[in-house]
């Protein structure tokens, strides 16, 4: 009885494999919009496909990180219930396309993303749009801290990795708000890897062992920060986050929602416990996964599934028949 109850109330390993179908569907449906310059159309196609597939999965999911409030987004909105309503009760973070601008421009590193955790464990930071963050591999634990100067963090991380600081590579979103951060990273002696969009992938690569990125630092979306935390847990990496309201009005909204705006959050503050899943399918080619490819009657996808409880990363390559997926106009 105890084991049966455990499986019913908590996400199990089969749930993650079911979720892959939803990210695959979103990525495939976005393909006709790659390079077409219409990020909203790409996003809508991915959202519609993800919603359909989520409705077939046996779980009781509530979207904590989604497309916005219900009255502002007729898509996968915050607070929406998804799934069949049967099975484990879960918090869900969705980003049908992490990198809509990348997709619209035909650039690399666009992903379709889902994250899952036990009900009530995922921080709802939707009232504050931005989050300052730092992500590293396990070597950063007890070494880096958002309260320290960037140079001090990088010198400590280099020592922990056994590297000269000149060998460090730091991923940073290429935004005007990061001009000072980029300058400080370079003045410390480290190099930058500027990313146009998609800081979820940047954080995951920084947390993985054996990659060319040693850290991901800077201000990105709060939803992406919470989603990244689910992945970092499974990778055994280290992450801190601190909400970054853009003005006093947003700070007030965050405080009214019960958020501690100035707190430096550890992983468990963002997603409590280790029963987390992170699932991503490539839309366009990137360092994390390959993008969708059509080869005659076959569509190929590549996905990753990260499970916090077991600390596993699985890669799933799938072949799909074109006739089962694309509309007549797309063939």
Q: How confident is the model at residue 15 (pLDDT cuts 50, 70, 90)?
A: confident
What's the average model confidence in pLDDT over 54-81? 74
Residue 99 annotated in ligand binding: yes
Q: Which of 3-17, 41-55, 317-331 is least confident?
A: 3-17
For 111, half-sphere exposure in the C-beta direction (CA atoms, 13 angstrom radius) is 30
Residue 24 annotated in ligand binding: no
Given phi > 0 = left and psi -120 to 50 = alpha, else beta, which region is 264? beta
Q: How confident is the model at residue 310 (pLDDT cuts 50, 70, 90)?
A: confident
Token representation of residue 246: 């853009």
Query: d(Cα 270, Cα 64) in Å, to the nearest integer?
Result: 12
- Is the Cα torsion angle 283, 289, 291, 296 positive or negative in sign? negative
Token representation of residue 225: 């920060």
pLDDT, residue 68, reads: 54
Q: First-to-last CA distance in the chain?
A: 51
Measured CA to CA in angstroms, residue 308 lies from 12, 114, 251, 328 at distances of: 11, 14, 31, 40
Domain boundaries, the chain: 6-120+275-324, 130-270
Residue-wise pLDDT for 219-253, tens only, equals: 999 989 999 999 999 999 999 999 999 999 999 99
Residue 268 annotated in ligand binding: no
CB 229 within 8 Å of CB 306: no
Residue 12 annotated in ligand binding: no
Residue 139 annotated in ligand binding: no
What's the average model confidence in pLDDT over 7-31? 78
For 57, half-sphere exposure in the C-beta direction (CA atoms, 13 angstrom radius) is 29
Residues of the chain with pLDDT > 70, as a percent, come to: 92
Token representation of residue 131: 């989050």
Q: How confident is the model at residue 331 (pLDDT cuts 50, 70, 90)?
A: very low
Q: How confident is the model at residue 324 (pLDDT cuts 50, 70, 90)?
A: confident
pLDDT, residue 78, reads: 82
User: Could you tell me the fold of the domain covering 6-120+275-324?
Assistant: Fructose-1,6-Bisphosphatase; Chain A, domain 1 (3.30.540)
CB 54 within 8 Å of CB 22: yes
More confident residue, 230 or 199: 230
Instruction: Please tell me which of 8-17, 72-81, 137-146 the model is most confident about, judged by mean pLDDT.
Output: 137-146
Question: Is the whole-model pTM more than 0.85?
Answer: yes
CB 282 within 8 Å of CB 307: no
Residue-wise pLDDT for 73-88, tens only, equals: 446 778 888 988 888 8
Residue 100 annotated in ligand binding: yes
Residue 269 annotated in ligand binding: no
Residue 98 annotated in ligand binding: yes
Residue 309 annotated in ligand binding: no
Total count of residues recorded for the chain: 331
For 85, half-sphere exposure in the C-beta direction (CA atoms, 13 angstrom radius) is 2
Residue 197 annotated in ligand binding: yes
Among residues 85, 32, 109, which one has the least CA distance to residue 329? 32
What's the average model confidence in pLDDT over 141-157? 97
Q: How confident is the model at residue 12 (pLDDT cuts 50, 70, 90)?
A: low
Q: Which of 67-76, 159-168, 177-186, 240-249 is least confident?
A: 67-76
User: Could you tell me the fold of the domain covering 130-270?
Assistant: D-Maltodextrin-Binding Protein; domain 2 (3.40.190)
Residue 175 annotated in ligand binding: yes
More confident residue, 257 or 325: 257
pLDDT, residue 330, reads: 46
Residue 118 annotated in ligand binding: no
Mean of the per-residue pLDDT values for the chain? 89
């Amino acid at each position: 009885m105890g084991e049966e109850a455990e499986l019913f109330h908590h996400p199990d390993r089969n749930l993650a494999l079911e979720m892959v179908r939803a990210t695959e569907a979103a990525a495939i449906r976005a393909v006709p919009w790659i390079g077409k310059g219409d990020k909203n159309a790409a996003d809508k196609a991915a959202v519609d496909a993800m919603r359909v597939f989520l409705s077939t999965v046996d779980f009781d999911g509530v979207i904590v990180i989604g497309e916005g409030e219900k009255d502002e987004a007729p898509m996968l909105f915050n607070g929406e219930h998804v799934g069949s309503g049967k099975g484990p009760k879960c918090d869900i973070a969705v980003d049908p396309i992490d990198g809509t601008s990348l997709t619209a421009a035909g650039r690399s590193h666009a992903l379709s993303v889902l994250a899952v955790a036990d009900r009530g464990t995922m921080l709802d930071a939707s009232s504050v749009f931005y989050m300052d963050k730092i992500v590293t591999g396990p070597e950063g634990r007890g070494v880096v801290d958002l309260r320290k100067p960037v140079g001090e963090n990088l010198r400590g991380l280099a020592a922990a990795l056994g590297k000269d600081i000149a060998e460090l590579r730091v991923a940073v979103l290429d935004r005007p708000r990061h001009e000072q951060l980029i300058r400080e990273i370079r003045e410390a002696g480290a190099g930058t890897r500027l990313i146009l969009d998609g800081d979820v992938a940047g954080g995951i690569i920084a947390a993985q062992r054996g990659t060319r990125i040693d850290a991901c630092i800077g201000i990105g979306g709060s939803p992406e920060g919470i989603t990244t935390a689910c992945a970092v847990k499974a990778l055994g990496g280290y992450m801190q986050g601190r909400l970054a309201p853009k003005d006093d009005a947003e700070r007030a909204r965050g405080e009214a929602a019960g958020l501690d705006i100035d707190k430096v959050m550890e992983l468990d503050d963002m997603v409590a416990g280790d029963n987390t899943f992170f699932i991503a399918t490539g839309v366009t080619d990137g360092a994390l996964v390959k993008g969708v490819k059509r080869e005659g009657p076959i569509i190929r996808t590549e996905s990753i599934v990260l499970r916090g409880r077991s600390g596993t990363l699985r890669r799933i390559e799938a072949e799909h028949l074109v006739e089962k997926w694309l509309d007549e106009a797309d063939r």
